[in-house]
Structure 1
């Protein structure tokens, strides 16, 4: 029985998403700060290696008021620890943690 449990755990561990991006990135409003124009209104985006992507999975106001003068994503670019995948030109976020 122990061998079956250990084997099952090893199989589950090996099935993790190997393409998942985990790194620090710039987080802000795609339209106001990164110059993206494929959506109307303000939307959360990240920038990795000078390429910006709209984010799915989190909203622009999930981290406070987007138009707050000193911390809002429409006003400033912030740093964040991000994880997720890029699919069809969008960042599918599994986690975003603002670090500044």
Structure 2
């Protein structure tokens, strides 16, 4: 019986899901707007809780022309509803929905 309880606890511990973040955040080009410099070229990034992270799972061009003067991420900072986890200093996005 003891082994069964320990096994059950180990299974629950190993299946623990990383805490997914769901909130409204700033979204833009990491290099042009958030002063991130660990990548070359323009890349999508989010900023929340006063910290910016490059995004994995979505591209800067998934939301239109990044250099559009009114809406491009290299030109302006926009707001979005985001969902995902921070892992290894990057935001692993499962969902991004722009707020107009």
Q: Deviations over 1:66-91 (max 9, x none)?
A: 00000000000000000000000000
Quote the offset at 1:49 in angstroms: 1.1
- Alignment gaps of 5+ in structure 1: 1-14
Following superposition of structure 1 onto structure 2, how do residues 13-92 of structure 1 map, counting pairs within 5 Å?
17=17, 19-92=19-92
3-state SS, counterpart of residue 62 of structure 1 = helix
Q: Deviations over 1:31-50 (max 9, x none)?
A: 00000000000000000111
3-state SS, counterpart of residue 61 of structure 1 = helix
Query: How many pairs does the alignment contain?
Result: 86
Give the 4+ runs in structure 1 shifted more than 3 A: 15-18
Structure with bigger helix share is: 2
Quote the offset at 1:17 in angstroms: 3.5
CA distance in 1, matches of 2:68, 2:84: 27
CA distance in 2, matches of 1:82, 1:17: 17
Q: Of the two, which has the highest radius of gyration?
A: 2
RMSD: 1.2
Length-normalised TM-score, structure 1:
0.83
Quote the offset at 1:28 in angstroms: 0.2
- Alignment gaps of 5+ in structure 2: 1-14
